[in-house]
Structure 1
Amino acid sequence: MSRDIQVRAREPEDAADIAELLNQPQAVWGTLQTPFTSVDERRKRMAALPAGHTNFVGVIEGKVVGTLGMNRLEARRAHVGTFGMAVHDAYAGRGVGTALMSAAVQQADKWLNLKRVELTVWTDNLRAIALYERFGFEREGVLRNYAWRDGAYVDALTMARLRP
């Protein structure tokens, strides 16, 4: 991890940077978000998150350039967490995703006692899949025509990491 990347909790004042980040073409391509979402809408979504949601941001030189939200499930799946993340297009490849993943795995293992962390990722997002595999996530299955993205249905890969 690069020393110039700070990982911290997301704050309400991060909404503008997060809106910019999630409106980037590659960042929005890799998520279930839609482009052209306003700062006000991001603020509303951030305020409406359920209890048990942990949010991290990756910061370089005071600017939020990555975000990762992890949600602990409930009841009989209280041992499971799910997450989604994105990195600003201009900062991709600089270690932001690695820094966020490291923080999330530590939070899941050392503080939340999660046995399983699961995610979905587009089958054509090879860079993200490689990152998740470096952190111990394994491929579990393909969800065909999972979502509509950029004018076509796309498949998603389910992946999970079981705490050793």
Structure 2
Amino acid sequence: MSTITVRHLEPADLPQIHALYGELQAYGDTLQLPYQPLSHWAQKLDPTRDGFYCLVAERAGEILGQLGLDLFRHPRRKHVATIGMGVKSTARRLGVGSALLSAAIDSCERWMNVRRIEIEVYTDNKAAIALYQKHGFVIEGTCRNYAYRDGRYVDAHVMARVTD
């Protein structure tokens, strides 16, 4: 089995990203809506957007996961970034999420002077919560009725990794 490579998103990756987030589990575990057109992803992941970075995890030409990193631009929050990510259902528990998070954390802390990385995660997404905790994120609070998913409201944790 070939290794997982993390790199920046290229325009040719968009169809595979579109397919990844078209999976029921992917849009169920994120704030994405089902049935989004490819143009939605082209706009959302636009690499020319100031302060936005998009990483993909790839193995043998197949996109296994995607992570978006948004840097805050407000003068008093320039030390903060927020992330969102998705992993292909057939690639879960293979180290894809860890590879993406490690690359994002390294970029933030060693190259972008980011000292606080934030993420929201549904409280019932135990695997994602464990992954984030493994990488130094802690739960800072819980938002009740955070999002509407599959016919009901669900809660989410706000998690952050803070480096002194």
- TM bin (shorter chain): over 0.9
Which letter does structure 2 place at the counterpart of 1:106? D
Distance 1:86 1:131 in 2: 13
Please give the root-mean-square deviation of Cα atoms over the aligned residues, in Å.
1.5
Check conservation: 1:25, 1:89, Cα contact below 8 A: no
Instruction: After superposition, give the CA deviation of every residue in 1:11-68 in whole Å (9 maximum; x if it has no partner).
Output: 1111100000001111111110011112232123223873011110000110111000
Q: Within 1, Cα distance between the matches of 2:46 and 2:27?
A: 20
Residue pairs, 1:16-31, within 5 angstroms:
16-31=15-30
Structure 2: runs of 5 or more not aligned: none
Query: 2-side partners of 1:151 and 1:141: how far apart?
Result: 24
Output the TM-score relative to the length of structure 2.
0.94
Query: Which residue number corresponds to residue 4 of structure 1?
Result: 3
Q: Which residue of 2 aligns with 1:137?
A: 137
Contact 2:139 2:157 in 1 (8 A): yes
| Percentage of matched positions with identical amino acids | 41
Match in the other structure for 2:89: 89
Given the superposition, is the C-alpha separation of residues 48 and 105 from structure 1 closer, same or farther in structure 2, using an over 3 Å criterion?
A: closer
- Look up the match of 1:157: 157
Q: Which runs of 4+ in 1 moved over 2 A?
A: 44-50
Question: Which AA in structure 1 matches 2:35?
Answer: F
Aligned length: 163
